[in-house]
Amino acid sequence: MALTLVVTNAVAQAMLTAVKTAIDAGTAAIIEIYTTAQPTDADTALGAQTKLATLTMSATAFGAVSDDTPGAIMTAAAITPDTSADNTGTAAFFRMLTQSGGTVLMDGSIGTSGADMNFNTVSFTAGSQIEISSMIMFIGERDSETYP
C-alpha cells in the first residue's frame, strides 16, 4: 500500500507557521554542521559526530509563511556565517537549535544538491568561512530538480 497523505495548503501553512514559532522561541536560532552519520532522529543525542561549523540565524529566523501551491513555504532571513570553521571534515548533516545550547528542533541532510541544505562543497576546512547563501523550508510536494 502506498502512502498518499496530502494536506490542504491552509493546513500546510499552519504546520509551517508552528515550525517558524518553534525556531524563534530562543534569542537567535543556530545551525550546527556535523560530520558522519545523521542520528536516527532529532531526539537522538549526538555521538561520534564532529562539529564543523556553527551559523547564527536572525532573531526572527524566517519571513512570513506563504502559499506555495501545493503546500507552504518560508525563506530564511540573513544567516550569519561561521567566519572560522571549528574542524576539517566532510559535512553530512545539520542540527538546528533554538539558540546556542538551546532546544534541538530538527536535523537535516547536507549535500551539494538535492539535500535539505546544499553547499557548493561538503568538504569544510578548519579556519575557513562557512556560509549559507539562502535557505527555505516548505511543506508540500516539490521536484528537487526545480527546487533544491
- Domain coverage including residue 133: 9-39+50-139
Which pLDDT value is given to residue 70? 82
Residue ranges in the chain whose pLDDT is less than 70: 1, 141-148
- Distance between start and end Cα atoms, the chain: 28
Q: Quick one: CA dihedral 128, 134, 140, 143, positive or negative?
A: negative
Which pLDDT value is given to residue 6? 80
Q: What are the tens digits of pLDDT across the range 109-147? A: 999 988 889 899 999 999 999 998 888 898 886 554 444
Question: Is 83 domain-assigned?
Answer: yes
31: Cα within 13 Å, side-chain hemisphere = 26
Question: Is 62 domain-assigned?
Answer: yes
DSSP symbols for 82-95 = BSS-SS-EE--EEE
Question: Is 4 domain-assigned?
Answer: no
Question: Is 3 domain-assigned?
Answer: no
Which pLDDT value is given to residue 146? 45
Question: Is 146 domain-assigned?
Answer: no
Question: Is 108 domain-assigned?
Answer: yes
Which pLDDT value is given to residue 115? 86
Joined together, the cell numbers standing for residue 98 give 533554538
Which pLDDT value is given to residue 116? 86
Which pLDDT value is given to residue 134? 82
